[in-house]
């Protein structure tokens, strides 16, 4: 078993089970970055916590989040539990004066996110939220290419993706995703992760219209063939205008497609950029970036320069890579006094976009707004 290196940021992961997202995304990232040390993990059972601590090299194991938060070696609490438990655990960590990195979404609905963002501001501790799509090397390179004029003036962008979950079948462990009241839906999870990349490359929405469609009214349980009612929309359609004046269209559908599961085009007066993947969850997808301009008749794959792979984070491959880039930026922010990594205040602006989409769908009225990093709108 390893211990937290001296002067490193001591991390405690709430719901750090073997085989879970924390094991897939967070642990490989933390192992690769010299500024962090995994101090503790907690699960709901002592046996699984001790097994995870041994597997991951954590110094301590707990069967509840309260003891993990109280551990003096934990500086940063990583909240990787189901969304329904975010408020309780994040609030406890903030009350203890601990830094928090929460998975996205921050809360169940806008009101809960507003409360957590306010508590973080009152606690005056640094926070981060798992909106890591912006750190994908292909996304970062596309952002710079657009800024450098590769496509000329951006005319429009179209993104179509598949959410993987929210398909025709599920297991009981993931059935909660099909209940809109739980807050983890096709809109709030894969769509917002994809929108995070769109916003980073092309800017914010100035206005939008939306339709949330419940294409499937029931889901089949893999264990026994039983069915459950579906209350969450599995088809998300957003159209609008970006601040630049460019047109934007986003369609996310539940499940997977036999065609393209992720295709994002950026079309301009002088060229085009295309990002694709066989995996629809952009924040963890292995992306291919293609481009063409001028006299090019087709797009061709573009080689992403090494600098976009993030130093020590470059050693991390697969779904954990963008997470490692998020952790690396958070450490730089702490050292340099900057606020580049998305924090709770920024997460609130993303929740406001979700709220605008829901209002547009419910009322049929175009939503005009400008979300900023301070959470203000006009």
Torsion of CA 109, 132, 79, 230, to 10 degrees: 40
Specify whether domain 134-309+344-362 bears CATH 3.30.360.10: yes
| Sign for the pseudo-dihedral over CA of 262, 171, 77, 122 | positive
* Alpha carbons 268 and 262: distance in angstroms, whole number: 20
Pairing verdict, β 235-242 and 205-213 = antiparallel
Specify whether domain 9-132 bears CATH 3.40.50.720: yes
In tens digits, the chain (378 residues) has pLDDT values of: 344 566 899 999 999 999 999 999 999 999 999 999 999 999 999 999 999 999 999 999 999 999 999 999 999 999 999 999 999 999 999 999 999 999 999 999 999 999 999 999 999 999 999 999 999 999 999 999 999 999 999 999 999 999 999 999 999 999 999 999 999 999 999 999 999 999 999 999 999 999 999 999 999 999 999 999 999 999 999 999 999 999 999 999 999 999 999 999 999 999 999 999 999 999 999 999 999 999 999 999 999 999 999 999 999 999 999 999 999 999 999 999 999 999 999 999 999 999 999 999 999 999 997 544 333 343
- What are the helix and strand counts (H, E) for the chain? 10, 18
For the question of whether the overall pTM of this predicted structure is more than 0.75, the answer is yes
* Alpha carbons 184 and 195: distance in angstroms, whole number: 16
Q: In the chain, where are the structural domains located?
A: 9-132, 134-309+344-362
Q: What separation in angstroms does the CA of 248 have from each of 138, 191, 207?
A: 20, 14, 10
């Amino acid at each position: 078993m390893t211990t937290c290196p001296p002067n490193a940021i001591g991390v405690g992961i709430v719901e750090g089970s073997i085989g879970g997202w924390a094991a897939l995304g967070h642990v490989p990232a933390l192992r690769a970055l010299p500024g962090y040390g995994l101090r503790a993990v907690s699960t709901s059972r002592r046996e699984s916590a001790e097994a995870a601590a041994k597997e991951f090299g954590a110094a301590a194991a707990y069967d509840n989040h309260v003891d993990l938060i109280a551990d003096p070696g934990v500086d940063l609490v990583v909240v990787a539990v189901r969304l329904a438990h975010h408020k309780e655990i994040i609030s406890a960590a903030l009350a203890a004066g601990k830094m928090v990195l929460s998975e996205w979404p921050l809360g169940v609905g806008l009101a809960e996110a507003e409360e957590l963002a306010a508590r973080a501001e009152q606690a005056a501790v640094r926070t981060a939220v798992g909106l890591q799509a912006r750190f994908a090397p292909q996304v970062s390179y596309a952002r710079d290419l657009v800024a450098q004029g590769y496509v000329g003036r951006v005319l429009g962008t179209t993104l179509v993706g598949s959410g993987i979950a929210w398909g025709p079948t599920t297991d009981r462990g993931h059935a909660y995703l099909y209940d809109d009241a739980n807050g983890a839906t096709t809109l709030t999870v894969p769509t917002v992760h994809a929108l995070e990349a769109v916003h980073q490359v092309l800017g914010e929405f100035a206005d939008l219209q939306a339709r949330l469609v419940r294409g499937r009214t029931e889901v089949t349980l893999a264990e026994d063939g039983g069915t459950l009612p579906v209350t969450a929309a599995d088809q998300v359609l957003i159209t609008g205008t970006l601040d630049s004046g460019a047109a934007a269209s986003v369609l996310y559908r539940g499940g997977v497609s036999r065609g393209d599961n992720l295709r994002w085009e950026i079309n301009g007066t002088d060229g085009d950029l295309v990002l694709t993947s066989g995996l629809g969850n952009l924040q963890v997808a292995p992306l291919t970036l293609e481009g063409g301009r001028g006299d090019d008749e087709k797009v061709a794959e573009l080689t992403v320069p090494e600098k976009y792979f993030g130093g020590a984070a470059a050693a991390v491959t697969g779904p954990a890579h963008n997470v490692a880039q998020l952790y690396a930026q958070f450490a730089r922010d702490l050292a340099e006094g900057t606020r580049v990594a998305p924090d709770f205040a920024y997460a609130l602006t993303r929740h406001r976009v979700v709220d605008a989409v829901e209002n547009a769908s419910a009322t049929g009225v175009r939503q005009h707004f400008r979300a900023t990093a301070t959470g203000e709108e006009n």
